[in-house]
């Protein structure tokens, strides 16, 4: 089922029959950096334009750090639909909806509801799995070839299910995903505790789904390492502190206009601007596709029961990720929230939920200022990777799994961009 993955062999030559091309990539988050790499290693001359003063400073800054290559379950699901009344009544501290009468907002919600049937949930989850497995192959090829320091490890992942009903439902989707290449197993609570002793502190739970091959890595360190690699080994030009205000095509070229009025041209333009893609892609009818879904994280020193395995507490919707002596804890989904300000009440809710779930995994008295970011979310939980005009493509809408999907999405994007345009 995996698309054949082209082996990395240094800086690949320009495909036969094509002249050297140039491309502008807008956005230096995980998706933009991976896209720049996928293009540059195929011989494209790449310029990255980023409004912030460095790479990975928005949604890719301090996310949950999980590379969940086999845990790609779509957010829109029959289970979430059943849970919707609790969400609308504000009874779930981990997920809430900021209502709006905006037409795009309502259209997105309608698409989300339509994506919540059992059939669509299954189809979206399996499509995510295919992209996840491609991403893992692309990430492994990258780190085999280049020595990148971003705290990467194959920690494996445990999804903890509090109830037997939840575990049985998870077991059904595990059985299906196994047929499509996922290495996942259902464990009893005892087996899960044997694997991760910190779970002995967790209240009673029915069992867990174990994904031994899932990985972890710090996304911001990845962006920084990639920026250095791209500039040094691939001749990529990185322009930070430069906002793209407008974009378009003129003849056989694409162009961007920056905030200072400068116009840059290239053979191709790729928009990887996370939630900032909405305004840029609006003219192509894609503005309404992205819903901002705000989340929080904090990073604390590991506690007396430090983690070996990455954990997701499914009922609390909190992830715990071991990152070299520290623990990254992430969660919360505020649908429709656009500000990245850290609300102290929301951060405290995340901290107290985490402390109740795994009391000795981290030192919860040292969580620092916390962080909030905006996931650029599509209703079907799958990114849009497509050409929107002959010279302009988008790689957007990675939602809850942008770090996981970044490398595979970039490979798909580069293949698409290098297809011959008539």
Ligand X SMILES: Cc1cc2nc3c(=O)[nH]c(=O)nc-3n(C[C@H](O)[C@H](O)[C@H](O)COP(=O)(O)OP(=O)(O)OC[C@H]3O[C@@H](n4cnc5c(N)ncnc54)[C@H](O)[C@@H]3O)c2cc1C
Binding site for ligand X (CB under 6 A): 26-32, 49-52, 57-60, 63-66, 68, 243-244, 272-274, 276, 280, 295-297, 319, 330, 373, 375-376, 398-404
**Residue 193 or 361 with smaller CB distance to ligand X:** 361
Comparison of 115 and 220: residue with beta carbon closer to ligand X:
220
Minimum gap (Å) between residue 32 Cβ and ligand X: 5
User: Rounded to the nearest whole angstrom, what is the least distance from the CB of residue 84 to ligand X in the complex?
Assistant: 21
Q: Residue 109: left (phi > 0), alpha (psi -120 to 50), or beta?
A: alpha
User: Considering beta carbons, is residue 193 or 281 the nearer one to ligand X?
Assistant: 281
Closest CA to 358 of 389, 405, 319: 319
Q: Report in angstroms how near the CB of residue 384 gets to ligand X at its nearest.
A: 11
Q: First vs last Cα of the chain: how many Å apart?
A: 29
Cβ nearer to ligand X, comparing 26 with 75: 26
Q: How far is CA 282 from CA 31, 105, 278, 290, 374, in A?
A: 19, 14, 6, 10, 18
Beta carbon nearer to ligand X, 63 or 357: 63
> CB 258 → ligand X: shortest distance, Å?
8
CB-nearer residue toward ligand X: 47 or 297: 297
Tell me the three state secondary structure of residue 183. coil
Minimum distance from CB of 260 to ligand X (Å)?
A: 12
Q: Residue 121 or residue 320: which is nearer to ligand X going by CB?
A: 320
| Paired strand residues for 186 | 209
The answer for residues whose C-beta is within 8 angstroms of residue 198's C-beta and 6 or more apart is 305, 306, 307, 311, 358, 360, 361
- Nearest-Å Rg of the Cα atoms of the chain is 21
For residue 183, which of 132, 109, 228, 258 has the smallest C-alpha distance? 132
Q: How far is the CB of 400 from ligand X (least distance, A)?
A: 6
State the Cα–Cα distance between residues 34 and 41, nearest whole angstrom: 11
Grouping H, G, I as helix, E, B as strand and the rest as coil, residue 391 is coil
- CA angle, corner 46, sides to 9 and 272, nearest 5? 100
In the complex with ligand X, which residue's Cβ is closer, 68 or 116?
68
Shortest Cβ 83–ligand X spacing (Å): 19
Comparing CB distances to ligand X, the nearer of 214 and 302 is 214
User: Could you write out the DSSP letters of every residue in 237-299?
Assistant: EEE-S--EEEEEEETTEEEEEETTS-EEEESEEEE--GGGHHHHHGGGT-GGG-EEEEEEEEE
CB of 168 to ligand X, least distance (A): 25
Q: Which is nearer to ligand X, 207 or 276 (CB)?
A: 276
Q: What is the DSSP string of 110-142?
A: HHHHHTTSHHHHHHHHHHHHHHHHHHHHHHHHH
Q: Are 418 and 18 in contact (CB under 8 A)?
A: yes
If one counts every other C-beta atom within 10 angstroms of the C-beta of residue 82, the result is: 10
Taking the complex as a whole, how short is the minimal distance between the CB of residue 294 and ligand X, in angstroms? 7
User: How many helices and strands, by DSSP H and E, does the chain display?
Assistant: 10, 20
- The Cα 243–Cα 245 span in angstroms is 6
CB of 247 to ligand X, least distance (A): 9
């Amino acid at each position: 089922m995996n698309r054949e993955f082209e082996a990395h062999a240094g800086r690949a030559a320009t495909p036969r029959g094509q002249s050297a091309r140039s491309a502008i990539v807008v956005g230096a988050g995980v998706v933009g950096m991976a896209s720049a790499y996928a293009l540059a290693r195929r011989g494209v001359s790449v310029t990255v334009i980023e409004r912030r003063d460095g790479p990975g400073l928005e949604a890719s800054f301090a996310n949950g750090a999980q590379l969940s290559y086999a845990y790609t379950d779509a957010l829109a699901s029959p289970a979430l639909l059943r849970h919707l009344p609790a969400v609308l009544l504000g009874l779930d501290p981990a997920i809430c909806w900021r209502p709006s009468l905006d037409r795009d907002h309502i259209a997105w919600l309608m698409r989300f509801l339509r994506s919540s049937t059992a059939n669509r949930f299954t189809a979206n989850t399996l499509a995510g799995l295919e992209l996840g497995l491609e991403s893992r192959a692309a990430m492994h090829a990258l780190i085999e070839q280049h020595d990148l320091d971003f705290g990467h490890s194959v920690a494996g992942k445990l999804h903890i299910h509090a109830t037997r009903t939840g575990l049985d439902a998870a077991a059904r989707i595990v059985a299906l995903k196994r047929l499509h290449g996922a290495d996942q197993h259902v464990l009893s609570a005892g087996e899960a505790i044997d694997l991760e002793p910190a779970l002995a502190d967790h209240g009673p739970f029915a069992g867990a789904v174990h994904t031994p091959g899932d990985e972890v890595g710090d996304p911001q360190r990845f962006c920084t390492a990639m920026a250095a690699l791209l500039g040094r080994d691939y001749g990529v030009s990185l322009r930070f502190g430069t906002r793209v205000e407008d974009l378009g095509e003129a003849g056989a070229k694409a162009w961007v206009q920056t905030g200072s009025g400068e116009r840059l041209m290239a053979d191709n333009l790729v928009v990887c601007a996370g939630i900032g893609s909405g305004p840029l892609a609006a003219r192509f009818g894609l503005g309404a596709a992205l819903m901002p879904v705000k989340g929080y994280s904090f990073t604390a020193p590991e506690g007396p029961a430090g983690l070996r395995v990455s954990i997701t507490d499914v009922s609390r919707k909190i992830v715990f990720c071991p990152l070299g002596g520290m623990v990254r804890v992430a969660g919360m989904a505020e649908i429709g929230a656009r500000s990245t300000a850290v609300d102290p009440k929301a951060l405290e809710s995340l901290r107290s939920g985490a402390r109740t779930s795994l009391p000795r995994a981290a030192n919860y008295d040292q969580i620092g200022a916390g962080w909030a970011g905006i996931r650029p979310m599509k209703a079907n939980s799958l990114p849009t990777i497509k050409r929107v005009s002959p010279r302009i493509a988008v790689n957007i809408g990675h939602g809850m799994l942008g770090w996981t999907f970044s490398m595979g999405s970039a490979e798909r994007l580069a293949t698409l961009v290098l297809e011959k345009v008539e």
